[in-house]
Amino acid sequence: MFTVDIHSHFFPKLSRSQGKLLDSNHGPWLEIRKNGKGMIMTGASEFRPVYDACWNAERRIEEMDRCGVDVQVVCATPLLFGYSKPPKIAHDWAEMINDMAVDLCSENSSRLKPMAQVPLQDVDLASRLVTKAKADGHVGVQIGNHVGDHDLDHPHLIEFLQHCAREDMPILVHPWDMLGNERMNGYMLKWLVAMPAETQLSILSLILSGAFEQLPMNLKICFAHGGGSFAYLLGRVDNAWEHRDIVRKDCPNVPSSYIDRFYVDSAVFSLEALRLLTDVMGDRRIMLGTDYPFPLGEKEMSSLLRSHPEFNESQKLRMLGLNASEFFSIDFH
Ligand SMILES: [Zn+2]
């Protein structure tokens, strides 16, 4: 069954001096260690252990073959966004990372598809770079779910989303820069609690602000990690909309009616959660996403979806690859 993983990351072989182009003290770079291991560094500090799938196309293909993944859409990690930096610096940085993504994917261009990043703090630069990235062969653009205190319903970000719709450039929204930082220092709580909340916040910011009313129907936008807490809490949101006018003041239709305006990936790591997600979103709105090759990703890529006892063949066909091939205009075979 044709299988496309729409949520995978790479981390290029950035030297420490290249990292300084973004931030002279805490710039991200890669320390390559023995036996195919590496450490993503921020300045002199260790950030995350990784292995060579982050920068080695051959290793990726080997693991995709093992798991039956035909195509991977490959994007950078949010650590590389640079949204808090001066726009010109972040723009030149994004261009460099985008070129590195193209280079990596060019090693097997039918199986690896690059997804760009942009300096989202500057809507004009970001929009221009989307246009360039599309011309350079990027199949989509990954954006963080917020820029500082601006959620996706901020006028500049809506302008950016409208630009992407005009360019027919698909968007993957990835949570990052998580809320509640000071209370989530241990146990990866930022990833386990705040990340799903960030994603839900972004989806609700588009729904409840009425932003979807300003966005064209052809906008292709997908939220990572199954949309975070969204599916589980949608009933709560609908109930609030029914009973409190402050919830529905900018949102003309019941929140659950907007689920046909966006997609989510399948990275929820449990059969029950994936069933709930499918019940809420429908099998046309879910695409395989693994978060490969990071430690919190799906180790046996696509196995959760592939092995689900309650999905029929046509549902699996859609969620494993057909939806993604339509979303990213990737040839289906
Ligand atoms: Zn991810």
Q: What's the chain's average pLDDT?
A: 97
Q: What is the pLDDT of residues 82-122, one digit of tens each?
A: 999 999 999 999 999 999 999 999 999 999 999 999 999 99
Dump pLDDT digits (tens) for 196-208: 999 999 999 999 9
Backbone torsions φ then ψ of 49, nearest 5 degrees: -75, 140
Ligand 1 centre distance from Cα of residue 7 (Å): 6
Q: Kindly give the distance from the C-alpha atom of residue 250 to the centroid of ligand 1, in angstroms, as a whole number.
A: 31
> What is the band of 188 on the pLDDT scale with cuts at 50, 70, 90?
very high
Q: Where are the domains of the chain?
A: 4-10+53-327
Q: What is the pLDDT of residue 285?
A: 98
The model's pTM is 0.97
Whether the upstream peptide bond of residue 175 has omega within 30° of 0, thus cis, is no
Residue 212: the pLDDT is 97
Q: Which residues surround ligand 1, an ion (CB under 5 A)?
A: 291
List, in sequence order, the alpha helices (H) in the chain. 16-19, 57-67, 87-105, 123-136, 155-167, 189, 195-208, 211-214, 230-243, 245-248, 271-281, 303-306, 313-317, 323-327
Q: Is 119 helix (H, G, I), strand (E, B) or coil?
A: coil
Mean pLDDT of 67-84: 98
pLDDT of residue 302: 97
Ligand 1 centre to CA of 248 (Å) is 32
Read off the pLDDT band of 65 (50, 70, 90).
very high
In CATH, the number for domain 4-10+53-327 is 3.20.20.140
